[in-house]
Chain A
C-alpha cells in the first residue's frame, strides 16, 4: 500500500469526509482539521507508517492541505 493512499485514508477517517477530491484545499480553514486532528494525524502516522514527527516539527502552514501532508510524509518516510 502506498504512502499517499494511507495518508488519504487517515485523513478521510479523521475529517469524516472524502478529501481526495480537493487535494489543495486548506483543511484548517474549512474546519475539517484542528489541533486535536493534527495530533491524531501525527499518532496515526507513527502507528501506521512508522513516521515519527515531533509536535514542534508540526508547522501548521506546512501541513494544511492534503497534498502538502502527503509530500511532507513522503519526505520523512
Chain B
C-alpha cells in the first residue's frame, strides 16, 4: 500500500514543495531583466497589473523613466500627450504612466510603497483631478480593483508608527478589499490601533511578500497590452520633426477642431458618440452638477498620504491641476465659485507644506481645444503641461524643502469649508 500511495501522492507532494520553495525564496531568480521594448510597452500600457505590481515599474524607473501619477487623463493619447512628445523629441526623460480610470490618492499612496528607492531624491509628476474630491472620496470598488496585496504587504514590512501609517491603516480597513487576506487584515487592525505587529504577523508578512514578489516577477510581464504603445507611435507621426511651440500650438488647434466638429461642447466626436449624445437627449444632464462640491472630502487626507510620502522620500514633485471644459461646466451647472474654492484649499495644502511646483491650469477651461472631452486634457492642454513638465524634468531643480503637518489628516481639514481657510490657518499655526 505504501508504494501505491507514494505513486499517487509523491508527484503531488514534490510539486507542492517545489512551487512553495520557488515562491517563498527571498532571493530572486535570474528572470529579473526587463527589456527596453517591454519597458516602453509597460510605461504607457495603463494596465492594472503593472500598477498593482512592482517589478516592471521598478526596472523602468531605474532606467530613466519618471513616474507620472494620475488617473484617466493618461488614456487620452493625442500628439501632444506627454509620452508622445517625450518620445518624438527624444527628451532626457520618459514618462511612466501610473494610474487609470478610478485610481485616486489612496491607490497612488500604495503604488508608491514598492518603488520607494526609485522615488527617493528623484522627480515625479502628479496630476490632481478635482473630481477625486467628492463627498465620499475614492470609490470602494475602484480602490478594490487597483488594490495590491503585494504593495500592502510591502508597506506593512517597513511602516513606522506615526500619523501617516495609522491613517493609512484606518482608511484601508474601511475598504472591503482589505478583507481579502485575513492575516493582513488582522495586522492592519493592530497598526490602526498603534500596536506592534506580533512575531507571527511579521513572519507571515515577510513570507507573503516574498511569494507575491516572486509571482510578480514571473507573471507581471505576461500579456502586456501593446495597443497604447501603438497609439503613441501613430500619434508621433503627426508631429513636425523639430519642436516649435507655435507650430505645435497651431497643429493642436487644427487637430482639435477637426476632431470636435459636431457638438457645441468641443468634446471629441468619438467620446461624444459613446453614449454622451444619447444621454444629452434625455435632458437630464442640464444643471445636473449644480450641487456638486469638491471642497469637502476624505480625499484631502488621502492626498496628504501622498504628500507625506513624497516628503519622506525627498521627491521633487510637479503638481498639475487640470481645468474643466468650460462649456460643459456651464451646461451642467457646475459652480465656478466652488471650483475656485477647491483651488484655494488644495493650494493651501500644497504650499503650506513646501510643495511649490504647481501647474495650475484651472482657469484655462475656455481655451479652445484645451480639453479633449468634459474633464480630460487634450491637444493644447497637453501642450501647456509640456511647457512646464519639460523644463522641470530636463533641467536641474533646486532641492525642495518640505514641512509636513499632520493636521491635514484631521476630519476638520477634510470637511473644512475653504471660506474658513484664513481662520483655520491662524488657529493651526
Please say whether the chains A and B touch (CB closer than 8 A): no
- Which residues from chain B sit less than 8 Å from chain A, CB to CB? none
